[in-house]
Amino acid sequence: MSEWNEDIISPESVATIDSMFIERVRRSGDRPAYKSYEREQNGWIEYSWQQMAVQVARWQSALAHESLHPGDRVALLLRNCPQWVMFDQASLGLGLVVVPLYTDDRAENIAYILNDAAVKLLLVQDAGRWKRLAPILGESRFLSRVLLLDAGPDAQQLADSDERIRLVSNWLPEREGALRRRKGGNPHELASIVYTSGTTGRPKGVMLSHHNMLSVAHGGVAVVDCYREDVFLSFLPLSHTLERTAGYYLPVMTGSMVAYSRSVGQLAQDLQIIRPTVMIAVPRIFERVYGRLKEQLSSQSVVARWLFTLAISVGWRRFLVQQRRAGWSPQLLLWRLLQRLVASKVLEKLGGRLRVAVSGGAPLSPEIARVFIGLGLPLLQGYGLTETSPVISINPLENNEPASVGIPLRKIKVKIGEDNELLVQSPGVMLGYWNNHAATRAMIDAEGWLHTGDQARIEGEHLYITGRIKDILVLSNGEKVPPGDMELAIALDPLVSQVLVVGEGRPYLTALLVLDAEFWPGLAQECGLNPMDPAGLNNPRLVAVVLKHIKNSLSGFPGFAKIRRITLLLEPWTIDNDLLTPTLKVKRAKVLQRYAAEVDRMYEDGLTA
């Protein structure tokens, strides 16, 4: 692209999210706003800002006939699509409070949230999702309207049998109305309740205002430039606050286009089709790509593997020179050749146009960062919490320290409290937890500092997360071990799909490992085992092979960080079996409870190698 143009809407000029959308329509009416794959048309459909405004007006008109009042809660159980934006903007424009739900969350969790937030209207993707939810939700005393987006025989039958249910296609008015602009919208009024997918206990409703999310989006733009010509590829669920603030509200603020990926399974194809310039992802995406690269390299020649390693080494040195952390080296003369032979081919699989990729939501392995940055991908790690709308810090392109989680956004203050806990003051800090004053007081102290629960250190401008207070394992000898870094390192091995390090109050460390389903058959045959027989998971030869892999993964860790025994599993930890949160974090307590007998067996006869 030859020309990049900035057109940023400041939060102060619009006050609310819905007013920002109207201002964007005024400024950029005919420019492309959204792109998505429509099954009915069997192709990609593009919407301009003006076309989106017309649709938002239709949704507003329909919502206005539902006896809803400002402050009432409405929810959506929808995959990423333009209709998500239409519903959100229409609701906010009427002063309603939006409650986003994860499409793959357990029905029990969704029912709890709908009742806890007293949701009056729910937009659901399809009949199948409503059928799974309805028996658990029962006759809710709050929910008076259910909208089904995807039409079909099942959906029509449900609508015919339940007066609460309407098909969106029948519910929306045919005529186009005018987009309503509120007078005197308060930036500090409640805009959304986002339920955190806590790894323990019931989810808590994080109350976020218009100002919370707009201030954080604007702070992000101040660190990483975004332009009208940028194309964002959206695949993290919009119910995730990172995607909502940085992948939805921020592009409205900058006038950038957003393309919605069809699914994570089709992400590789969509990258080729959309060719995004900006991508927001979680570390697992980069870990998967890295795992595929390692797998492909293993079958290539020694020369190919050597060239790949050299490309990363030279590319990394080039990055350090650009960041003014190293001096020029003659090996940099090889970069153009290595870029053509190696780096460009890898980046082309990501669309070939990425000028910035952001990783957030979980720690990014330094090894992963080094590989992609070495190949020329501008990869930035950030950090935040749902309770901070969510971004606290991010690495700037010109001052990127991959081992850190970046520099705090403007107007955000950080300090280190007791037990090295990171404390934060930010315009993005939530209004509090919905109907839970005790939890709010425990999270935000009397001086307004939010307690993150994460341990950190500050070096210069950069922030480094060193562990999680609640996740520290204390061995019976008093040694303290943060399991997160170890799990991150072990999970980089292609053989391992999921891992949990165990050792609280125990004499040594052990681990529960879920083997990768793709690699298991080959590994089993290599060890002379039948992959269809689960009994083979206890085979000493197999255990020895996996322990060797773990030892190699932890070679850079201190001596006490040694896994003595392991339990191998094939059944993955998922949202459905209640071992993962909707944001794919492992529920440590639930996993330990599920596999308590296996854990006890690993400690039966004391310390034996």
CATH classification of the domain holding 531: 3.30.300.30
Residue 94 confidence (pLDDT) above 50: yes
Q: Are 576 and 106 in contact (CB under 8 A)?
A: yes
pLDDT on residue 366 = 87
- Cα 357 to Cα 59, 151, 215, 289, 329: the distances in Å are 33, 36, 21, 14, 27
- The per-residue pLDDT of the chain, averaged, comes to 93
The CATH number of whichever domain residue 255 belongs to comes to: 3.40.50.980
Residue ranges of alpha helices (H) inside 433-482 are 437-443
* C-alpha dihedral, 352 to 353 to 355 to 360, nearest 10°: -70
**Dist. CA 193–CA 207, nearest whole Å:** 5
- Would you give the DSSP letter of residue 276? -
Q: How many domains does the chain have?
A: 2
**Dist. CA 215–CA 207, nearest whole Å:** 15
Model confidence at 474, pLDDT cuts 50, 70, 90, reads confident
pLDDT on residue 3 = 87
Model confidence at 346, pLDDT cuts 50, 70, 90, reads very high
On whether residue 92 sits in a domain, the answer given is yes
Which residue among 230, 251, 280 closes a domain? Answer: 280
**Dist. CA 386–CA 402, nearest whole Å:** 22
Model confidence at 609, pLDDT cuts 50, 70, 90, reads very low
**Dist. CA 197–CA 441, nearest whole Å:** 19
Residue 111 confidence (pLDDT) above 90: yes
On whether residue 18 sits in a domain, the answer given is yes
Neighbours of 477 (CB within 10 A): 9
Residue 604 confidence (pLDDT) above 80: yes
**Residues 544-575 pLDDT 10s:** 999 999 999 998 776 777 899 999 999 999 99
Residue 36 confidence (pLDDT) above 50: yes
Q: Are 212 and 430 in contact (CB under 8 A)?
A: yes
Work out whether the CA dihedral 456, 459, 460, 462 comes out positive or negative: negative
Q: How much of the chain, in percent, has pLDDT values that exceed 70?
A: 97
Residue 410 confidence (pLDDT) above 70: yes
Residue 512 confidence (pLDDT) above 60: yes
Q: What are phi and psi of 66, to 5 degrees?
A: -105, 15
Residue in the block written with tokens 């809710």 = 140
**Residues 430-465 pLDDT 10s:** 999 999 999 999 999 999 999 999 999 999 999 999
Q: What are phi and psi of 252, to 5 degrees?
A: -65, -40
Residue in the block written with tokens 């079958």 = 299
Residue 144 confidence (pLDDT) above 50: yes
Which DSSP string corresponds to 148-198?
Answer: ESS-SHHHHHHHHH-TTEEEHHHHS-SS--PPP--SS--TTSEEEEEE---
Q: Cα angle at 153 between 148 and 155, to 5 degrees?
A: 20
Bridge-based pairing of strands 509-515 and 496-502 is antiparallel
When pLDDT is averaged across residues 270-298 and rounded to a whole number, the result is: 91
Work out whether the CA dihedral 597, 599, 605, 609 comes out positive or negative: positive
Residue 478 confidence (pLDDT) above 80: no
Identify which has the larger pLDDT, 288 or 306: 306
Read off the pTM: 0.86
Model confidence at 387, pLDDT cuts 50, 70, 90, reads very high
On whether residue 134 sits in a domain, the answer given is yes
Reading the block at residue 549, the tokens are 């892999």
Which residue among 259, 280, 301 closes a domain? Answer: 280
Residues linked to residue 46 through DSSP beta bridges, in sequence order = 35
Residue 42 confidence (pLDDT) above 80: yes
**Dist. CA 562–CA 554, nearest whole Å:** 7
**Dist. CA 583–CA 241, nearest whole Å:** 10
- Short-list 598, 489, 478, 484, CA closest to 554: 489
Model confidence at 140, pLDDT cuts 50, 70, 90, reads confident
**Dist. CA 51–CA 56, nearest whole Å:** 9
Q: Are 519 and 495 in contact (CB under 8 A)?
A: yes
On whether residue 147 sits in a domain, the answer given is yes
Residue in the block written with tokens 């879920």 = 514
3-state helix, strand, coil in the chain (%, to 5): 40, 20, 40
Q: What are phi and psi of 328, to 5 degrees?
A: -60, 145
Reading the block at residue 449, the tokens are 């500092």
Q: Among 466-475, 503-512, 568-577, 589-598, whose mean pLDDT is lowest?
A: 466-475
When pLDDT is averaged across residues 117-123 and rounded to a whole number, the result is: 98
On whether residue 325 sits in a domain, the answer given is no
On whether residue 275 sits in a domain, the answer given is yes
Residues linked to residue 393 through DSSP beta bridges, in sequence order = 383, 408
Residues 6+ apart with CB under 8 A from 34: 46, 47, 52, 82, 85, 257, 258, 259, 260
On whether residue 448 sits in a domain, the answer given is no
When pLDDT is averaged across residues 142-146 and rounded to a whole number, the result is: 97
Residue 424 confidence (pLDDT) above 90: yes
**Residue span of the structural domain in which 492 resides:** 472-602
Residues linked to residue 32 through DSSP beta bridges, in sequence order = 48
**Residues 388-399 pLDDT 10s:** 999 999 999 999
When pLDDT is averaged across residues 79-86 and rounded to a whole number, the result is: 98
On whether residue 293 sits in a domain, the answer given is no
Before 153, cis peptide (omega within 30)? no
**Dist. CA 354–CA 380, nearest whole Å:** 12
| Long-range contacts of the stretch 46-54 (C-beta < 8 A, 24+) | 47/82, 49/24, 49/25, 50/25, 52/25, 52/82, 52/85, 52/86, 52/89, 53/21, 53/22, 53/25, 53/29, 53/179, 54/176, 54/179
Which residue among 280, 305, 339 closes a domain? Answer: 280
pLDDT on residue 606 = 64
Residue 260 confidence (pLDDT) above 50: yes
- Short-list 496, 504, 499, CA closest to 470: 504
- Short-list 479, 485, 519, CA closest to 501: 485
